[in-house]
Amino acid sequence: MRIPIFPLDNVVLFPSVQVPLYIFEPRYRQMTASVLEGDGRIGMTVVQPPHRGQMAGDPPVFPVGCLGEVGHSEQHADGTYHLILQGTSRFRLEAEVPRESERLYRVADVTLLDEVASIGSLERERSRVLELMRLIVPDRADSFRVESFAKLDDVTFVNAFCQSLDFSALEKQQLLEANGVRERCDQLVGLMEFRLAERSATGVGGPETVH
């Protein structure tokens, strides 16, 4: 599959989760116009940390990204866009396609990645995530009751917390690369427990950012 790729240094998209994007650079405005005329798909990738100072060029990206479909788009008078991108599936970047003609943005050949199916329920793990959220943001504890999330399937539940919590882009990339929802959930719980222990050890208060 050949798709345009959109490398960012601080945004990781997960399957079944939405992310809002503001498109303002000329090359990505061109990309968006092309995508909206085509199949509406964009490959979100994360720039490798040592190369974040090279965003104006073509910095190296992690090989695993997430394919997204434009669910909503709004073009403004100045040519910028607001998009809502819906994550659909992970992919592995195989090779970038050399630029041709007037194309300013990056394009790559990718292979879609299957998720390892989860055997059995994640009920215990989901309860632990919510328990940790009540400890991390005690002033919003009532928002993280089990029944409030009962209608979400396991993939959406886990991926939504992976994307919304204020982990670093590298930590989120590691979660994205996890091979299946159970492995990703185990890693998520581990990160949450570490953050909570770190806060207790340093005596730092205040809620974790959820956006």
Given a cut of 50, whether residue 70 has pLDDT beyond it is yes
Confidence tier at 38 by pLDDT (50, 70, 90): very high
Task: Show Cβ contacts of residue 62 under 8 Å, excluding neighbours closer than 6 positions.
Answer: 45, 46, 48, 173, 177
Average pLDDT over residues 82-111: 95
Which range is least confidently modeled, 11-25, 117-131, 163-177? 117-131
The pLDDT, as a whole number, for residue 211 is 34
Average pLDDT over residues 43-51: 91
The pLDDT, as a whole number, for residue 67 is 98
B/e letters for 76-104, b = 16+ CB within 10 Å, e = fewer, are eeeeebebebbbeebbebeeeeeeeeeee
Cα distances (Å, whole numbers) of residue 126 to 19, 101, 106, 179, 211: 22, 49, 38, 18, 19
Helix residue ranges, H only, 63-153: 123-136
Helix residue ranges, H only, 69-178: 123-136, 154-164, 169-177
Distance in angstroms (rounded) separating the CA atoms of residues 58 and 191:
30
Percent share of the chain, pLDDT over 90? 76
